[in-house]
Structure 1
């Protein structure tokens, strides 16, 4: 799965629940909130005042690191 700005929070967490740790480190502590599941990564970042490109880079870095193991 390729995670983009348009990927919903629900899709990401269904793909790999460990992404929640990255999101929480960025300041998104409402990962389990039912309304967040349908939001895109971009929408969630906007609500939390985060730079979507930085969060996306962290997620992609995690995915690359995971592949190397």
Structure 2
């Protein structure tokens, strides 16, 4: 299960299917160097993305929802 405290790059590396989800929320995390250090929750907040909606879709993409 993906949580808001997880590092974005780790999520994408372990679950490449999440890249499309991040992009659908306007987050091009796979092209961002900050992704190696930034938590999902922080990245969502910085970009004014609803973190709960993002987490729902990320977990759905990996079959954990």
Q: Scaled by the length of structure 1, what TM-score is found?
A: 0.81
1:59 maps to 58
2:34 maps to 35
Q: CA RMSD in A?
A: 1.5
Q: Scaled by the length of structure 2, what TM-score is found?
A: 0.86
Unaligned runs of 5+ in 2: none
The number of residues matched between the two structures is 64
* Rg (Cα) greater in structure: 1
Unaligned runs of 5+ in 1: none
Give the secondary structure class of the aligned counterpart of 1:35.
helix
Q: More relative contact order in 1 or in 2 (CA 8 Å, sep 6+)? A: 2
